[in-house]
Amino acid sequence: MAIKVRYFASLKENLGRDKDSLDFEKSISVAEVWEQVMPEQAIPDNTLTAVNMEYVTLAHQVHDGDEVAFFPPVTGG
């Protein structure tokens, strides 16, 4: 199964990239996605997570073709 992972704003700058692609054998959680793409760095406390452009928790299970996003608190308006 393959998913796309995206990063935005300060998180993107800190990580030095805006996306990753990830292949895995069985369904995994959003928290496990982070562990796979950033094995050396704990997820920052205030990070927001989305799958297919809907907010989800870290426990949400990710499936083939999903787009997972990690980003800091939003500050529009």
Partner 1 sequence: MIKIVSSGFDPFQEVHAYQQQQQSLAGKYGATNLFIGTMRDLNEGDSVKGMTLEHYPGMTEKQLARVVAKAGKQWDFLDSLVVHRVGDVFPDDVLVLVAIWSVRRGAAFDASRFIMEALKSQVPFWKKEILVDDNSRWVEKNTDGY
Distance of alpha carbon 22 from alpha carbon 33, whole angstroms: 8
Smallest distance, partner 1 to C-beta of residue 1, A:
22
CA nearest 26: which of 54, 74, 62, 51? 62
* 76 near partner 1, rule: CB under 8 A: yes
* 72 near partner 1, rule: CB under 8 A: yes
Is 29 exposed, middle or buried (CB count within 10 Å of its CB: 0-12, 13-18, 19+)? middle
DSSP, collapsed to helix, strand or coil, labels residue 35 as helix
* 17 near partner 1, rule: CB under 8 A: no
Smallest distance, partner 1 to C-beta of residue 21, A:
18
Interface pick for partner 1 out of 20, 36, 50, 60 (rule CB under 8 A): 50
Under the rule (CB under 8 A), what is the footprint of partner 1? 6, 8-10, 13, 48, 50, 53-55, 69, 71-77
